[in-house]
Structure 1
Amino acid sequence: MAGAGQVGAALALYWRAQPHSALRSQVRGAIIPGLLGVGEPLIYGVTLPRMKPFVTACLGGAAGGLFIGLIA
């Protein structure tokens, strides 16, 4: 679930970024590996340098894990 949280945070950053910005380029390059399960480009290149998206991605992953744990 942590990977899904990182992907969600990266997509939110992508939608909020200015068109043709460096942030959009970074997210575009890291989102495909993130969707395939390799989260390091998203973590170290996109969300961790900006602390707030990293924390919200961790909270989203925790909420998803709690939900899966409760219904499984």
Structure 2
Amino acid sequence: MNFNKTILATEMEKIQKTENIMYKYYDDLLKELKNPKIKERVRFLRDQELGHIKMMTNVIAILSDYILRD
């Protein structure tokens, strides 16, 4: 495994760990909240962060494929 591939694998692992931590944090927070409007806003923020994480995962996967071709 070359240097670039190792870095990408490490970053992918970090992103997946962050996703798990973030989702648990939001899940716990939503259980505690009582106000429906605040819950709706928190869900929106959670979904935005999750979308960003998925986008970064896709970028890393594309870079990994590109590096493998070289």
- Bigger radius of gyration: 2
Which has a greater percent of helix?
Answer: 2
The structure, 1 or 2, with the larger RCO (C-alpha pairs under 8 Å, 6+ apart) is 2
Pairwise TM-score range, normalised by the shorter structure: 0.3 to 0.5
TM-score by length of 2: 0.40
Question: Which TM-score applies when normalising by structure 1?
Answer: 0.40
